[in-house]
Amino acid sequence: MADFTGKAVIVTGGGKGIGRAISLAFASAGANVLCADVDDPAGQEVVDAASGAPGTIVYQHADVATSAACQGLVEKAVGLWGGVDILINNVGIQPLDSYLPAHELPEEMWDRIINVNLKSGFLMTKYAAPVMKKRDGGVIINTASVQGLQSAQNIPAYAASKGGMLSLTRQLALDYAQDNIRVLAVNPGTIETPLAAAGTGNDYAKLRQEGAKAHPLGRIGKPEEVASVVLFLASDGASFMTGEYVNVDGGLMAKGAWAE
């Protein structure tokens, strides 16, 4: 594992699921992590889980759909650690009552999903990029989705947010390459998290069983399996990568519709 000792990292949606695993992996690798979430008990649990790790995790309540919260997170990291080296735009929501075709989707639901999943990436970058420039560079990694590449039914806002995240990744990579800021994305397949489990009524056994069928590796993924890829992309091992996405999906995107 790469050494991130002394690096300042912000993880949005870091309280549970993939963001929790990313926060803990960075702390294990020596980083100082600002974990942002709206679920305070979950955030506190991540802080506790990192006790004894070489790095630290500080929790901050922040609804990253809002400009003030994003600005506050960057200011907090600067106050604590003098800057931001790595930004993980991981947050995402896919509410069960949003599974609707566009003509039935309430406008407010569209706005909320786009604001949390996509606008937060813009806002965090807006405030973090100037700080990264002062540090002579940095890394931004966006959690998109395989659903940014291919569509399931009745997820117009989620699909648009994830496709937008992939486009934003390319755009930011171009605009900040001259500043030595690399920008990358990961596309998880089905990962064992509270978000995914909501779809099976929090029945994790059912989630594992049903999700396994779709993925060529014959199982769903673990949050730690996304986190390890994120840490590689943030490391010097990926120093010539920018503007690219990596599928972390057990082969899901390799499978054609005619495969079975």
Distance between CA 226 and CA 103 in Å, rounded? 34
Cβ at position 205, least distance to ligand NAD in Å: 16
User: Alpha-carbon dihedral of residues 112, 248, 173, 58, nearest 10 degrees?
Assistant: 60
- Contacting ligand NAD (CB under 6 A), which of 10, 42, 87, 160? 42
d(CA 205, CA 223): 16
Cβ of residue 161: shortest distance to ligand NAD, in angstroms?
A: 8
Q: Does 194 bind ligand NAD (CB under 6 A)?
A: yes
Return the residues of window 96-125 that contact ligand NAD according to CB under 6 A: 116
Site for ligand NAD in 77-96 (CB under 6 A): 90-93
Candidate segments 121-129, 172-180, 187-195, 251-259, binder of ligand NAD by CB under 6 A: 187-195
- Is residue 210 involved in binding ligand NAD (CB under 6 A)? no
**Please, are residues 165 and 88 in contact by the beta-carbon 8 Å criterion?**
no
Nearest CA-CA partner of 211 in 186, 189, 187, 188: 189
- 169 touches ligand NAD by CB under 6 A: no
**Total interface residues for ligand NAD by CB under 6 A:** 30
Q: Which residues belong to the active site?
A: 158
Are the beta carbons of 190 and 248 closer than 8 angstroms?
A: no
DSSP 191: B
For residues 47 and 133, which CB has a smaller minimum distance to ligand NAD in the complex?
47
| Conformational region of residue 136, where left means phi above 0, alpha means psi within -120 to 50, and beta covers everything else | left
Please say which residue, 64 or 77, places its beta carbon nearer to ligand NAD: 64
| Cα 84–Cα 234–Cα 79 angle in degrees, nearest 5 | 10
**Interface residue list for ligand NAD (CB under 6 A):** 12-13, 15-19, 36-39, 42, 62-65, 90-93, 116, 143, 145, 188, 190-191, 193-196
